Amino acid sequence: MQTSLTIRQADAAEIPLIKQLAEATWGPTYQSILSKEQLEFMFDTIYSEEALAQQMADGQTFLLLFEGESPLGFASYSVKDEAEKIYKLNKIYLLPQTQGKGYGKTLLNAVEHEVKQLGAAILDLNVNRYNNAKAFYERCGYQVYVQEDIAIGPYWMNDYVMRKEL
């Protein structure tokens, strides 16, 4: 019997769960791309409970993906440019053992659906230029729009901004 997938919006009480999912996904995602020091610095900067609470307060909406009662991953999005109707996918992470099973596409489709309902015409996302996820986003209809280098403390994120018209 297949367990059903559910996606729902997270609230502040679920910040520890988001952090736990991030802890399980960040290392495997970035250990071959970033130094251990950069990985730890960025994780502490972005995924402390205080930072996650601030992201929610600043308008990021977090979605949680479950299979039955088991959390599999999360995504977050926010308005990037209201006048241009551009939203941003800020995060999307799945437990490593669940990758390649279509869950990422399910979660991405849910974000696309939600932002369209909110009036978005475009969804942007950043992906590290060395991250294999770029190919996943291309398969989902995203194209490289620009490159950008973003300072996070003493480190740099070397990203593509990918874009999809909704």
Domain architecture of the chain: domains with CATH: 5-165 (3.40.630.30)
Mean pLDDT of 87-102: 95
The per-residue pLDDT for range 14-41, each reduced to its tens digit, is: 999 999 999 999 989 899 999 999 999 9
pLDDT of residue 5: 95
Spatial CB neighbours of 59, under 8 Å, sequence gap ≥ 6: 78, 79
Give pLDDT, residue 1.
42
The alpha carbon dihedral of 47, 48, 49, 54 has a sign of negative
pLDDT tens string 112-147: 999 999 999 999 999 999 999 999 999 999 999 999
